[in-house]
Chains A and B, each alone.
Chain A
Amino acid sequence: MTEIRGFPLFSLPYVALKYVVLSCDIFSRSNLSLCSRRSCLMTRAYKMPKLEIQSIDFSKNKEIENEVSESRKNVVVVKQFEEENVTTHVFNIIATDMKEDIGKIIQSSEFEWEYHHDPSVNLTGILCNNISKFYNIKSPLKSFSAKRQLNSLDFDHSPNILSRPEKVYILMESVSTEELDMVFSKWQDMQQLLTRAEIPDEYDKYGIWNAKEMYLRYAPPTIKGLLNMNYERLFCRRSKLKTSDLNLFLKKWLQSTEKEESKYNIHEIRLSQIENDSNIFEDLPVIPWNPRQRGQFFFLRNPIQNFGIDCSRDFDLLRDDGVLATVSYVRSPHLYDQFYFYVWQVRGFPLFSLPYVALKDVVLSFDIYSRLNLSLCSKKSKSIAGFYKMPMLEIERINFCENSEHIVTISEIYPSPKPKITHTLNIIPSNIEANYGKITEISGLEWKLHHNSPINLIAKFSEFYKLPQSESVFFKRDVEESDFSEEMIAVFNTSKLGVQKKELTTEELNLIFTKLHNIQVFSIWSKIPEDYDNHEIWKAKEIWLRDPPRTVEDLLRMDCERLICNRPKFKTSDLNLFLKKWMQSTLKKEERYLKREIVVFKVVTDSNLFEDLPITPWNPNLRGQYFQGHCQYFPFFSIDCSQGFDLLRDDEFDVSNAELLAMAKKLRQVDTNRARPDQVKLNYQKLTVTREDSTGKTFLESRHLTFPLTFL
């Protein structure tokens, strides 16, 4: 007979033993540690993985089976963290009465096992105990769920870690008093509890219910439950409660106080399916909303919910200890009546009672949007928010987008050498009043802000930070009159305006040029109406057009220094006509800009451009070789005009004497060295004597020669 000898594991060289231990799965390694003290030392000697028991589900092995012990199947999910990799191990622990199956371990996939065991043993408890002890798991169990009847065996050997599940889901359709006792006596520190089952009428141990948030399909049948359970938030979809019960609950709440020993205090209750049998507010000292006592909105802020509930029309109850609650009873004709109870928790930080130094530091620690929001709270807060050193800001760009969003680019400027910081603010229109002014950081320096009137907000922003203009404004949506309201100084004073949308209407163009008088650069990447003929009102130093105007005369009508037309439209014959018109034209007095450069791209040649034009080749005595230009894209550039032809226009010099006298007066006013009245004297020989007699004559003579003698 051959003797079966085990593999001499512990005789392996150090390196080999290390690799063997590290190659074991988490369960085998913990099992190996149980063999002996030496094995325990060996298995612990090498790097231990970081584990977390994610969930334990008590379910049935087969759904069709009755609730018998042998149908028990517990699923334990353990997560292993290795740097950024997470491996999920699943242990299906199945109780079986079939003796041949007991002790079987089946590996169904790389990280999933089935353990068949004797129903009289709580293998789940033992496994979790071993794993949590061996791997020193400290983090609490994330979730526990029960989908089958529970018995006392389920909680034997429960290690500490199982006594602190974060979330508990009781998903059976019915639950007994014993089961509830079992669950709530074991677990005292839940973050979330969810039950589907109806609570038995005779159940009365609500005092041991302890969870931050409770989601119960069925509310406790009596108000005892509401009063005795320890929770922050309670949500129940169904209820047997009546308005008379809730009236009593409110009275009891008014008489209660916050207990120090309570882990949680009530923040919010929502109950549905309330039977209306009496006035819920009967004999209660309800008071309407007083804005001095609380805000308009009750805010729910957690990873799942993030909104405010308008409580302006609901009634409040003020408890003797100063705690304020709002009661809302909603009756809907075809729906169930709802009961909402909100307890106001926030006791404001007395910001304005801080010492001067601290208040200053707090205000200076605000980001630019929070500081603006502070200024919008009240007149006093506005003066405080604006009192301390203000950040140096610039609005670089305002984009009016198609979806009514406004994208504002704002720069925070610091003294050199610190570079400026540029924020992008997306202002999103919102109908929810509670969200007005709410700002969230999307990424880095990009922010999202909700507001009912984005325009209004930009106006307030520029007013508070004293920003007189936005460097550029860009429209991707229709231009509206309200965009140029008086409050919108940032838009009003912009120097660069761009429009990029499908089509611009005559009204929009007229609106732009009648409202904005200081445009330096105006670029249009939109279609202009075919019949548009109001180019006389166009006034901008630089005009960039995608589509050229209707006729070549329009090129002359616009009041600008530079004009660039990108798309093809004109032929050489058109431009010949344009040049002839230009030759006949003169500088108009009402024009602000002298046309210096007109560029027309993609010209079609159909005739000689210079036909019948008095062109002359370059004469170096008349002009230089290079035309110096600058535009927003190329600050300075020179164009060689030695090969081009010149046209000399015969402009009229039409100036009146009165205009020349006015000009002389102006020149005299700006002359810092001019003689004061007492320094110029007229003697009997009608000769003038000035403070500096030698130069005075020349000065006077020159004046006389230039202006009065010649023209008067």
Chain B
Amino acid sequence: MSVEPEVPIVQVEEVRENPVLYKIISSDNHVFTISEHAVKLSKTLWDLITNLGLTAENALDNPIPVENVNGKNMETIVQFCERHKYDEEEPEYTNYIREFVLPEWDRQLLSIDNEELFQLILATNYLDIQKLMDYCCRVIGDMAKDKTPEELRIIYGIPTDAEDDALERSASDSPGPSG
């Protein structure tokens, strides 16, 4: 059964020298087109494409279903990949990911609420997009800047020791799966 695009969210302007486009269907049946260079940023998708043997001729006729990612996150992911598809491969940071400067465009893209950001990270992890993962994690790490431990506890929803202990107690008191 072919899925018709309900909301064509992203229109990709493909470069002349590489007209290969792929179709991706999100869990809520939104269809996205993404260029070959952009899709290569996702290790999961690119592995899938190569394993399925999709070529320039049959790529658009064989949309790739991605069950674990909804349309909203997929839109962000496609935007990100298209933006960074021609980026030069950066030398891997040797120590800490705070070594790079987060570009303003990406900071704007990732200015979303906590729940969305969390879901985006899960999606990024699933699709294995290293650069987006680094950027998302950097945004989360930056939340801690200039904050006291008291503030961090709230910002990251970190339970207090007493709460952790209570959770542990209730988990050990509750009957196991066998009842």
Contacts and interface: CB of A to CB of B under 8 A. Distances in A.
B136 to A, nearest CB: 7
Closest CB pairs A-B (n = 4): A348-B157, A365-B141, A361-B137, A351-B156
A349 B137 CA distance: 12
B164 A362 contact: no
B147 interface: yes
Interface stretch (A132-140, A372-380, A488-496, A703-711): A372-380
A235 interface: no
A640 interface: no
Given A351-B156, A378-B153, A378-B159, 5 more contacts: A358-B124, A365-B140, A370-B144, A415-B94, A434-B150
Interface string B153-164: 111111111111
B158 A295 contact: no
Interface in A372-423: 373-374, 376-381, 389, 391, 414-415, 418
Interface of A: 291-292, 294-297, 299, 308, 346-355, 357-358, 361-367, 370, 373-374, 376-381, 389, 391, 414-415, 418, 434-441
A377 to B, nearest CB: 5
Contacts of B137: 358, 361-362, 364-365
A380 B143 CA distance: 19
A87 to B, nearest CB: 28
Contacts of A438: 146-148, 151
A414 B153 contact: no
Contact of B148 (A291, A349, A358, A435): A435
Nearest to B148: A437
A352 B122 contact: no
Contact of B157 (A350, A434, A435, A436): A350
B138 interface: yes
B152 interface: yes
Contacts of B163: 291-292
B114 A380 contact: no
Contacts of B16: none
Contact of A361 (B134, B156, B161): B134
A314 B106 CA distance: 41
Given A365-B138, A365-B141, A434-B150, A381 B158 contact: yes
Contacts of A414: 94-95
B169 to A, nearest CB: 14
Interface centre among A357, A364, A415, A441 (most CB of B within 10 A): A364
Contacts of A435: 148
Contact of A362 (B95, B140, B151, B158): B140
Contacts of B25: none
B156 A366 contact: no
A415 B94 CA distance: 9
A414 B115 CA distance: 35
A370 B148 CA distance: 8
Nearest to A306: B146
A296 B150 contact: yes
B96 interface: yes
Nearest to A438: B148
B95 A389 contact: yes
A346 B125 contact: no
Contacts, number: 150
A353 B118 contact: yes
Nearest to B150: A295
18 contacts: A297-B150, A348-B154, A348-B157, A350-B118, A357-B125, A358-B136, A361-B134, A364-B95, A364-B141, A365-B96, A365-B97, A365-B137, A366-B141, A366-B144, A381-B158, A418-B94, A437-B150, A438-B146
A364 B99 CA distance: 10
A296 B125 CA distance: 35
B170 to A, nearest CB: 13
Contacts of A353: 118
A434 B148 CA distance: 8
B161 A348 contact: no
Contact of A437 (B117, B140, B149): B149
B97 to A, nearest CB: 5
B81 interface: no
Q: Chain B at the A interface: mostly helix, strand, loop or mixed?
A: helix
B133 interface: yes
B98 interface: yes
Contact of A292 (B97, B149, B159): B159
Contacts of B69: none
B128 to A, nearest CB: 9
B145 A370 contact: yes
B121 interface: yes
Contact of A378 (B115, B138, B154, B164): B164
A391 B161 CA distance: 26
A680 to B, nearest CB: 56
B45 to A, nearest CB: 17
Contact of A354 (B121, B143, B150, B164): B121
Nearest to A355: B125
Contacts of A363: 141
Contacts of B138: 361, 365
Given A294-B154, A361-B134, A364-B98, A377 B141 contact: no
B161 A436 contact: no
A348 B146 contact: no
B125 A358 contact: yes
B158 A348 contact: yes
Nearest to B96: A364
A349 B118 contact: yes
B32 to A, nearest CB: 23
B145 A367 contact: yes
Contacts of B114: 347-350
A379 B161 CA distance: 6
Nearest to B126: A355
A439 B157 CA distance: 20
A371 B29 CA distance: 41
Nearest to B114: A349
Contacts of A351: 140, 156-158
B10 to A, nearest CB: 24
Contacts of B160: 291-292, 378
Contacts of A374: 144, 149, 152, 156
A362 B138 CA distance: 6
B100 to A, nearest CB: 9
B154 A355 contact: no
A27 to B, nearest CB: 35
A325 to B, nearest CB: 15
Contact of B153 (A295, A347, A362, A415): A295
B156 A349 contact: yes
Interface in B97-129: 97-98, 114-115, 117-118, 121-122, 124-125
A165 B23 CA distance: 45
Contact of B122 (A299, A355, A434, A440): A355
B144 A358 contact: no
A358 B157 contact: no
Contacts of A364: 95-98, 137, 141
A370 B151 CA distance: 11
B40 to A, nearest CB: 20
A379 B121 CA distance: 25
A350 B147 CA distance: 17
Contacts of B115: 347
